[in-house]
Homo-oligomer: A and B are copies of this chain.
Amino acid sequence: MERQQAEREWERDPERDPEAEAATRALLTDFYQITMALAYWQAGRAREPAEFELFFRRCPFGSSFALAAGLRDCMRFLRTFRLHPADVKYLASVLPPGTDPAFFEHLQGLDCSGVTVRAQPEGSLAFAHVPLLCVSGPLLLLQLLETPLLCLINYASLVATNAARLRLIAGPEKRLLEMGLRRAQGPDGGLTASTYCYLGGFDSSSNVLAGQLRGVPVAGTLAHSFVTSFSGSEQPQVRMLTPASGQGPPRNLSTLTESWLGKVCECLGLQAEEPHPGERAAFVAYALAFPQAFQGLLDSYSVMSFQVPWLEAVSIAVSNNIDEEVLTRLAQKGSEVNLIGIGTSVVTCPLQPSLGCVYKLVSVRGQPCRKLTEDSEKQTLPGSKAAYRLYSPEGAPVLDLLQLEEEPPPQTGQELRVWPLDVSGGDCRSLTLTPASLEPLHRLYFHLGQMCEPIPSLAESRALAQKSLSYLSSSHKRLENPEPYQVALSEKLHALLESLAQSSQEGS
């Protein structure tokens, strides 16, 4: 009951997506963004050119990697960003009376025509401190965008990474079905989860709306309530069955059912009277509705207790509270289980239910800036930056390099001196390395309000994620105690960081 859906056009034409409504409300932001906007405006700084970076400081779940996701939703948000008259009227009702009406006029005139976004592609491997998004534009507007961009990236990247971990555990062959809609944070939580679990490596979702709106393949079979609803007294509306091949004489359904029930009971070591007649009636009714694609349901508690050799030929689906630990066991069992349904533990990410992406100001009026903090883990890296991924001769990514945007890109085969990021705040030493190959990590997706290149389809992003993961060394890919992936600064960026640290100490 699983069918690949053609990717839908909406991804390239976001305005046609009816779901866009909820995701693109400009007031989907924290109130302090509005109060800061007023203060910037009062100080005459609303239009100062600024740049923010969106990044996380630690990979989720103790992994050494994450998957970048949510960019498609950000693009949709930015393209349609507008404060409508009703929005501005609402803001006037919650700001102090007497706030200058010119501020509200400024808000009503805002759109993203001055905004530029460089980003890591959907489905990329992403590492701590390397920006997922670099957003530049007018200070006041960029401040308003903080919450919605974080909201759209944080959970999408978290759940895609969670799905990728489960895919790594399951191996490439098992079919993974996401079925967490009922445990998600409301309707859109469920839609986001289904979308990005697929991106992260699941095969399908139970969520029909994700199928309709986002082209995620949908799958599912039947629930207990269906079985419970049959008492056994129901008579099938069909008496004689024509073979699926169309060849041969019709067969008597009742005789067939009795004969197969007898065979199954023999295999399971049960008396033919033991199964409840309602269960038989329910499975017969279901099989009649899906003569070519029947999938039965054994209750979750008893699946594992049967050792039936010919069950191997049957597609077996399991779906009872499957987490990483249970999945590890199921993956070891070889071919017995083909389809694994996972709900709560993929959607709610219980190992770590949120990704702590932050959105930090790195330059204003062309000057690099950084947050003053005593906490070295909370440090930010100043200035507008470029990022490169360096590869070993075998094609494995070995290090992500952050440098100032004005620096020339590093060269393949040329020795580089870099400064590994030391988040523990201890002494940090430089190292030299010679990349066999490299690539820039950011692409220009949005330039002064215009999309520069289309966001790939969900299926393409899913393929990129699986391909990128396949090149990552297994020491980084290990789910428990993985070797941390190195992120380093160029000499110039490192020097800037040092000089800003020094000047802030001198200033104090």
Contact = CB atoms under 8 A, between A and B. Distances in A.
Interface of A: 1, 3, 5, 18-19, 21-23, 25, 27-36, 38-45, 48, 50, 52, 73, 86-87, 90-91, 93-94, 96, 139, 143, 146-148, 150-152, 154-156, 159, 179, 181-193, 206-209, 211-212, 218-229, 231, 234, 236-237, 273-277, 279, 285-286, 288-290, 292-293, 299, 301-302, 344, 347-350, 353-357, 359-361, 364, 367, 369-375, 504, 507-508
A151 B189 CA distance: 9
Contact of A27 (B182, B208, B292, B372): B208
Contacts of A286: 35-36, 39
Contacts of A356: 183, 344
A248 B220 CA distance: 75
A1 to B, nearest CB: 6
Given A364-B229, A373-B299, A22 B25 contact: no
Contacts of A32: 206, 220-223
A185 B188 contact: yes
Contacts of A181: 28-30, 147, 151
Given A146-B225, A225-B359, A277-B507, A91 B208 contact: yes
Contacts of A347: 185, 354
A339 to B, nearest CB: 12
A229 B37 CA distance: 12
A295 B71 CA distance: 34
Contact of A39 (B34, B90, B187, B288): B288
A30 B190 CA distance: 11
Contacts of A355: 183
A292 B96 contact: yes
Contact of A146 (B223, B237, B367, B369): B223
Across the A-B interface, give the 6 residue pairs with the lowest CB-CB distance, nearest first.
A188-B188, A185-B189, A32-B220, A31-B220, A189-B189, A348-B353
A147 B209 CA distance: 12
A370 B185 contact: no
Contacts of A29: 181, 207-209
Contacts of A35: 1, 220-222, 286, 289-290
Given A90-B212, A96-B293, A344-B354, 4 more contacts: A5-B93, A42-B285, A43-B237, A52-B225
Contact of A350 (B30, B36, B275, B353): B353
